[in-house]
Amino acid sequence: MIRADRLITDCRLATMLEGGEAYGAVEDGAILIRDGDIAWVGARADLPAHEAAQVDRLDGRWVTPGLIDCHTHLVFGGDRSGEFEQRLGGATYEEIARAGGGIVSSVRMTREASEDDLVASALKRLAGLKASGVTTVEIKSGYGLDRDSELKMLRAARRVGAEGGVRVATSYLGLHAVPPEFREDRAAYVDLAVDEILPAAHAEGLVDAVDAYCEPIAFSTDEVGRLFEKAKSLGLPVKLHADQLSNGGGAALAARYGALSADHIEYADEAGIAAMAKAGVVAVLLPGAFLMLREETPPPIQTLRGHGVSMAVATDCNPGTSPVASMLAAMTLACVQFRLTPEEVLAGATRHAAKALGMADRIGTLETGKAADLAVWDINRPAELCYWLGAPLLYGRYRNGQPD
């Protein structure tokens, strides 16, 4: 006898388990929830003996794992809509960055904002993600670039999770850009980011993973390697913005350090991808940035498939290159721009995204023992999640077994 807090029934399940039916589908399913976790899931005909305090009948709606946005810069001050206009006028991302715009302009506005201001603005963006079925969000720092501001961002990210009703994973992104005050002495900034800010953030319990931006306009593989060595010494996993604008060896570097993920990777070569496959590194694909930058070289999807690399999909929600606050929009773009199948994309927003955060043991699939983070959809088949652009498909969310 299973004594449950809640029974969800009269529904169709996309469990997202590998093997078997497409999407791991169960046409007439049920879920028992106890203490915030899935106590049992499967075909309603196989439902074991149980007592449930609450029964939710979903009238045949589809249930998926709650979507996971595994790459965002959700916390920041101000916006960069002016740069959007500049890019439309012909300026490139690199030109804007080298002229003192780009990330550095967000740094100024983020430093000026209070922690409360950062939380309030991030919660507005989070509302868009939640409305598209998201229950877990990764949030990076990287717009502070000094000790106090980076810690402020990470504290704000923790608060966003607590106040916004989502699971939040934080990433320290100190090597995002060189701040203006260190323009003439980047080595000194790397020292600060690696030897002072990261240990301080870790000591305060604010860091779940360590990230870096590895590009000619950002940081070299040697500089990133120093940061990753420090992360390793602190017992923290790493991830990497890799090979977005050029083939700088980022994919291979991520593999060398056993990173959770290598993100963007438009210019990754086959050797780097083979190394990722061997090391179990997830490729996080970010079609929002690809769209907004009007890039023309997509990630090497066939090579990733050929080597069996897990592919996650995320919004990259940020003020400059991907002002995207809808997971469903990112999923549609991944199909249209990168030619992923809807099943690959939904796996990328659930099972593979969980792996990219090191959380596959708790979220990402519908199976016994995992957190009851669920999304319920008004659709007839799972492919509609990628087919419709802008339609209100979400019926409801459950977070730790509790409906919103």
54 labeled part of a ligand binding site = no
Distance CA 123, CA 292 (A): 23
403's tokens? 């409906």
80 labeled part of a ligand binding site = yes
Distance CA 166, CA 70 (A): 13
In the DSSP assignment, the letter for residue 71 is: S
73 labeled part of a ligand binding site = yes
Residue identified by tokens 């730790």 is 400
Where do the DSSP E strands lie in 205-294? 209-214, 239-242, 261-264, 282-285
400 labeled part of a ligand binding site = no
50 labeled part of a ligand binding site = no
337 labeled part of a ligand binding site = no
Where do the DSSP E strands lie in 274-320? 282-285, 311-313
Q: Where are the alpha helices (DSSP H) in 165-286?
A: 186-192, 198-203, 221-233, 250-256, 270-279
What sign results for the dihedral spanned by CA atoms 344, 349, 350, 353? Answer: positive
Exposure string of 109-146, with b = 16+ CB inside 10 Å and e = fewer, is bbbebeeeebbebbbebbebbbbbbbbbbbbbbbbbbb
12 labeled part of a ligand binding site = no
* Integer-rounded Cα radius of gyration of the chain: 21
396 labeled part of a ligand binding site = no
N-to-C CA span, the chain: 28
252's tokens? 């291979």
Residues 393/29, Cβ–Cβ less than 8 Å: no
108 labeled part of a ligand binding site = no
147 labeled part of a ligand binding site = no
Q: How many CB atoms lie within 10 A of CB 232?
A: 14
Distance CA 400, CA 398 (A): 6
318 labeled part of a ligand binding site = yes
In the DSSP assignment, the letter for residue 102 is: T
Going by the annotation, the residues of the binding site for N-formimidoyl-L-glutamate are 143, 318, 320
Going by the annotation, the residues of the binding site for Fe(3+) are 71, 73, 241, 316
Going by the annotation, the residues of the binding site for 4-imidazolone-5-propanoate are 80, 143, 176, 244, 321
Going by the annotation, the residues of the binding site for Zn(2+) are 71, 73, 241, 316
Going by the annotation, the residues of the binding site are 71, 73, 80, 143, 176, 241, 244, 316, 318, 320-321
